[in-house]
Amino acid sequence: MTTPNLPAPDSAYVVGEKFAREHTAATVKDTIANPARAGLDKAVDGWGQFRRKQAVTWADHFDGQTSLRNRADLIKAASGHCSAFMGYNWDVPPSKWVVAPFDTALGPTKRAVVDPATNGIVLKAGGLWRVDVHATMSGYTMNQTIIPIISPPYFTVVTTYNPILPQYNIEIVNADGTLYTARRFHAVANMSFEQSGLGGVNYPQSSAFSHTFVLDNMPTEDDPAAPNHWKTVRLGIAYTPVNNGTFNSAYCSIRGGTRLSSMIASRWARNVENINYRPEVPAGGTLG
């Protein structure tokens, strides 16, 4: 572009002028590389997210008890027993209760079986039962806040990461799908808020909890009416994002495998007394 007898446009390259002297090898490299670097950073972030998504597939199944699945003789003295784990890792939608699929048996069973159709353990005898659950979640809340600035493009976006707030329900369900008894647990993540990176929040957090309850006597397993009396143990899960930005999104997964997931039902006694389930009770006043 030429401008005969007129001043050169702003930022135009003019041989011998100061503009040319201000360019160094470093500034030229930045001018060329910065657009590509921004695209590369975006691609790296996308690849990291892709890797996290791919974790929601097959889970680690290594455990020596898998070879004992048919060894009922080893638990002959037990009144009832069943152990299960999740065969896969799963994504969890935000602010929605879902059932964690404990679909794979571990070791021998007695008076209880894993039922993949209901994602839990079916109890086939009355008495005193205890359920122990080990669950592992990881996830984060991404908050993006728009902040005005005085120069183009007149705003900037600050991205920070918060933890998520998981909850768990151990539910004992009747054969008709109605709830028999339940226990809820809140697993608040012990992580700092408004982190600049994912490392401080997107870290697996394990929780262990239990529920002990009494079931009424049931017909023997070979009785045609028995299935109408069986109870199913399942784990309900949900999480709440911690939103504090202009735009927010959340991601969560629950981990499967024998190391990071477990549901064990153990029958402690045949006693069916003191069946008294009250999900809500009146206020008792102020302690102290």
Higher pLDDT, 270 or 254: 254
Give the HSE-up count for residue 222: Cα atoms under 13 Å, Cβ half-sphere: 0
Q: Tens digits of per-residue pLDDT, 163-206?
A: 899 999 999 999 999 999 999 999 866 566 666 666 667 777 88
pLDDT of 115 reads 94
C-alpha to C-alpha distances, 69 to 33, 75, 115, 134, nearest whole angstrom:
59, 11, 15, 20
d(CA 193, CA 142): 11
* 180 and 122 in a common domain: yes
Site of tokens 């670097």: 37
d(CA 239, CA 139): 9
Q: Are strands 127-148 and 262-269 parallel, antiparallel or unpaired?
A: antiparallel
* 236 and 134 in a common domain: yes
Q: Tens digits of per-residue pLDDT, 210-222?
A: 999 999 999 999 9
* 143 and 28 in a common domain: no
d(CA 248, CA 145): 9
99 in a structural domain: yes
Higher pLDDT, 151 or 265: 265
Q: In the predicted model, is pLDDT for residue 49 greater than 70?
A: no
C-alpha to C-alpha distances, 195 to 199, 210, 238, nearest whole angstrom:
8, 33, 23
Q: In the predicted model, is pLDDT for residue 279 greater than 70?
A: no
pLDDT of 47 reads 47
d(CA 193, CA 146): 18
Q: In the predicted model, is pLDDT for residue 152 greater than 80?
A: yes
* 260 and 204 in a common domain: yes
Q: Is the dihedral of CA 107, 108, 111, 115 positive or negative?
A: positive
* 39 and 128 in a common domain: no
* 156 and 219 in a common domain: yes
E strands, 149-178, in order:
155-162, 164-173
* Residue 218 belongs to domain with CATH number: 2.60.120.40
154: alpha, beta or left? (left if phi > 0; alpha if psi -120 to 50): left
* 142 and 177 in a common domain: yes
Q: Domain range for residue 130?
A: 60-269
Q: What is the DSSP letter of 16?
A: T
207 in a structural domain: yes
The total domain count for the chain is 2
Q: In the predicted model, is pLDDT for residue 82 greater than 50?
A: yes
Q: In the predicted model, is pLDDT for residue 24 greater than 80?
A: no
Give the closest residue to 260 by CA, choosing from 122, 86, 132, 140.
Answer: 86
100 in a structural domain: yes
* 116 and 40 in a common domain: no
Out of 76-80, 139-143, 278-282, the most confident range is: 139-143
Higher pLDDT, 132 or 22: 132
d(CA 1, CA 172): 80
Cβ count near 234 (within 10 Å) = 21
* 200 and 92 in a common domain: yes
Show the tokens assigned to 128. Answer: 């005193």
Q: Tens digits of per-residue pLDDT, 68-80?
A: 565 655 555 567 8
Classify 237 as helix, strand or coil.
Answer: strand
170 in a structural domain: yes
Give the closest residue to 211 by CA, choosing from 183, 236, 186, 173.
Answer: 183
133 in a structural domain: yes
pLDDT of 7 reads 65
Q: Tens digits of per-residue pLDDT, 108-128?
A: 889 999 999 999 999 999 999
d(CA 245, CA 229): 50
Is residue 197 within 8 A of residue 238, CB to CB? The reply is no
